[in-house]
Amino acid sequence: MNRARQIWGWTLAVVCSVSVAAGQAPNGQTALVVTNPHYVSIMLDITVNRSATEVWKRVGKFCDIAEPFQLPCKIVSGKDGEVGAVRFLGSSIGNEILVGKTDLSYTYAQPLKPGEAYDLYHGTVEAKPLTSTTSKLIYTLVYDNSMLRDEAAREKDRAERIALFTKGLNNMKSLAESGAPPR
């Protein structure tokens, strides 16, 4: 009986893999899959003069991202802090799903948006202890930029994201250290 289940599982996995590889979504629509993705990662960090626990208390909830990035945030599904929760970050960003977390970090992903190629956008925010009174805030992004027209457009996009997330990290540092973002 176990052997039959094992064979059935393998068969199902192969069928699903072929469907995904063929670009077919389960509902029969064509998935918006990028044929030759070009994954990019951006890793930024900043030292904070507070313990990682104190930092995380101030900026570690899923919707705490709203203040340093000056975006509206609302949990639209699930419970804030639980894997599977969905936050809405205004019309320019849309929904993000909490896909992983630890005591001092979380990872989110943006879902497929209707009519757009999927860029596999993921972000991780982490407070890493350095000493008992200092920590490092780390923000990591991973996404596919292959749909941008050329290398110049990809470099511009990367530079804009670095500037935006550096400003956000600076604001998170200020919030953690003094309770208020810089003016």
pLDDT in tens, 17-32: 333 444 444 555 545 7
Q: Going by C-beta distance under 8 Å and a sequence separation of 6 or more, which residues neighbour residue 141?
A: 40, 41, 42, 43, 121, 122, 123, 161, 165
Q: Is pLDDT of 161 > 60?
A: yes
pLDDT in tens, 112-128: 888 888 899 999 999 99
The whole-number pLDDT of residue 44 equals: 98
Pairwise CA distance, residues 108 & 65, whole Å: 12
pLDDT in tens, 57-103: 999 999 999 999 999 999 999 999 999 999 999 877 889 999 999 99
